[in-house]
Chain A
Amino acid sequence: MAAFGSFALLIALALAAYNLFAGVIALRLIATGQSARISPERLADTARRAGIAGFVAVTAAAFALVWSVFNNDFSITYIMEHSNRALPAPYKFAALWSGQEGSLLLWAWLLGAYGFVLRLLHKTDVKLYAYAGTILAGVQLFFLSVVNFAAPPFSLLKGALPDDGNGLNPLLQYPEMVIHPPMLYLGYVGFTIPFAFALGALMMRYPGEKWIRITRGWTMVTWLFLTMGIFLGMHWAYAVLGWGGYWGWDPVENASFMPWLTGTAFLHSVMMQERKGMMKSWNVWLIFSTFILSILGTLLTRGGLVSSVHAFAQSSIGDWFVAFLVIVLAVCIFTYILQRSHLKSEQRLESLVSRESSFLFNNLVLLAACFVILWGTLFPILSEYVQGTKVTVGPPFYNRVAIPIGLFLLFLTGVGPLLPWRSTSLRAIRRNFVVPSIALWATVIVCLAVGARPWKDGVFDTGNFYALVAFGLSAGVFTAILSEFLRGAGVIARQTRRNLFSAMYLLTRRNTRRYGGYIIHIGVVIVVVGLAGAAFNRSQESELGLNSTMAIGPYTLKCVGFTQDSNLNYDSEYALLDIYQNGKKQFQMTPEKRVYLASQQPQTMVAIHSVLSWDLYVVYEGTNPDTGQPIIKAFLNPLVSWIWAGVVFMVIGTFVALVPSLVPATASLRVPASLGAPTEPALRGGD
């Protein structure tokens, strides 16, 4: 299978090269109107078909690798290093992306899959899709060159064939790891599509903004995958790493968060371009930046430039990514300079208090957050370059800057939908902001009444203060969104004599994009409430002998036994803990520690009991070598389940936004006779 896999990758590389070069020649011939022996349209079609065929070839290579993993072909170095005979089937499948070579093959396969769909849909707009498909082929050519020459997944093991492999990294032997990386990759890779459309539209001076409507679905699906990938990663970190948290500002986490921030900014500001023909250059650079940040993230973590919990994926492919980044940046800058006259705004910002300005502020805040994270992530590299020593910035740096930025963003989430387009009068502000403001301040007062204390014994407690602000703002934003739903549904209920719920459903169907977006915002609010709960985390560590107890919050943990187990993949020891609340036994928890046989690496398996108000999170830390007593660490983490619930809302909201809206009744407007023939164009743009 190794020979077949390598051959398939070479075929895919050749097809990607043909797709790129034939596509470029065909588009050049079409643009200049030159004739050739073969018609440019025919040449462009062979390029498109080469893209489809390339996907088949990459699929064959990916299949060959998975097949070899399942058949324990340890003659392939990658499989020897990332699998073993006793590895359960789902994790054998996950071995495809557990190492450098495999994950790059997955990247190429996903890019091929996206390209396959794009090329099948080419009749939507033949020329634009031809440009996008050719740009996509350029990106694919890079990834296939890396997997063919720099990180080949089918390279053969030298020397004697081992009986068994080294096994999969224990950190990756967790159910989320079967879906988290593909989700994240779908997000990273998927941003290539809006990038290709934006660059293509700019290259061909696409008349109008229809290309945005064409790519909207792609961008939203990609954003959804990246969102899910990030949150699945958070849940994995929470359940596997055993430190009680879900986000540690690790460079890999940052690498996934930065394109998410710029992608989110793009999803918002692109509405301005669609509705009013504004912010065209800004949007183009947002989507360029999103793609570039996806590649930069890969360079940072896989090129070995910064250290991370994902260090298992490091290798020497950094130079390839640097070269690719330089080429991408050069192409973007060159195209922008050449075509910038095409990106002139059709209208100007009329007021600083308007929906447009709220989008602009939202974008600035998201970019500020992105810049802070980029600065913190690059700081070790910059400090080493300037001072000669690597200085790493930790969570306190990010929290100090990112939390206020995040809270301001939450504030804008509530304010934006309440502001009208163009400009806002004081009366409109009073009319729309009274109820959300009451909800905000009522929540703050309730929180203070039930014990939130930003100032404790004369000392300012930052965490407590931010949590209080987050709860207040969340209530205000939630009320603002709810009032949007209720007011809209009220109009429909009056017009159609429906009940409020039915009217709300119809309202959402009539404008799925807007109301789907609001559901996503509700999800964001719920996530923020969950994140704010971290200000009240508690933990307790104790040696726990048989029948001894420890207390945390409302729970008492009683140790009723310790036991050991083993299977073909790992040995484990775990504690049996009965959990009491108000003197009554409620449930049992079994925190565990495993040692994987193939790799001889230990791994903690955290026990988590999750309810709406908090998580009881218990870690078996091993035994004290002096006393032989097991050490148990328990955390009480308030509101964590709200984070995962919020993500569900975000996913539902995105699906709603992806559904086409019901076609509204046609409006009509007569041209006043006095206008006559226009003396100058009604609108700029569209040239």
Chain B
Amino acid sequence: MTDLQGVLAGAMMALALGVYTFWPENAFASQREKTRLDYLLERKEQLYENLRDLNFEYRAGKYPEEDFVAQRALLEDETAQLLAEIEHLQQA
């Protein structure tokens, strides 16, 4: 490939890439702003996962009974507060 051919090939590529970049298209993706409710719903999933893990590890014999009860109560309390706020936001 000579220098001239190289420059011509480069120019054609530049043209093609420019057309691709600026092609007038209105179907571009957009999204709504995330709200606190979205955030709380994500956290709810995580807290449920933490609860499932705790139950599983207890059944696997990793926790003594009293540790499990205490941990579960803490997690349930945290989740209940979260659910209360979710419910409140959903009603508002």
Contact = CB atoms under 8 A, between A and B. Distances in A.
Interface of A: 1-5, 7-8, 10-11, 15, 18, 41-42, 44-46, 49-50, 52-53, 56-57, 60, 122-123, 125-127, 206-210, 274-275, 277, 418, 420-422, 424-425, 427-428, 431-432, 487-488, 490-491, 664, 666-667, 669, 671-672, 675-678, 681-683, 685-687
B17 A56 contact: yes
A209 B42 contact: yes
12 contacts: A3-B6, A4-B10, A11-B13, A46-B21, A428-B63, A431-B64, A491-B60, A664-B49, A667-B52, A669-B76, A671-B80, A682-B85
- Interface residues of A, dominant DSSP: helix
B45 to A, nearest CB: 10
Interface of B: 1-7, 9-11, 13-14, 17-18, 20-23, 25-26, 28-31, 34-36, 38-40, 42-43, 46, 48-54, 56-57, 59-64, 66-67, 71, 74, 76, 78-85, 87-88
A207 B36 contact: yes
A678 B21 contact: no
Given A275-B46, A664-B52, A490 B60 contact: yes
Contacts of A125: 31
Given A15-B21, A421-B71, A487 B84 contact: no
A676 B84 CA distance: 7
B12 to A, nearest CB: 10
A81 to B, nearest CB: 21
Contacts of A15: 17, 21
Contacts, number: 167
A358 to B, nearest CB: 14
B17 A11 contact: yes
Given A3-B6, A675-B81, A682-B82, A123 B29 contact: yes
A122 B30 CA distance: 10
B64 A683 contact: no
Contact of A53 (B20, B43, B52): B20
Contacts of A424: 67
Given A53-B20, A428-B63, A681-B85, A675 B80 contact: yes
A126 B31 contact: yes
Contacts of B80: 669, 671-672, 675
A422 B87 contact: no
Nearest to B44: A669
Nearest to B64: A427
Contacts of A671: 80, 83-84, 87
B26 to A, nearest CB: 7
B64 A425 contact: yes
Contacts of A52: 20
Contact of A432 (B13, B42, B62, B84): B62
B39 A487 contact: no
A678 B84 contact: yes
Nearest to B17: A53
Determine which residue in B25, B59, B66 has the highest number of CB atoms from chain A within 10 A of its CB, and name it: B59
A208 B20 contact: no
A428 B48 CA distance: 23
Nearest to B4: A3
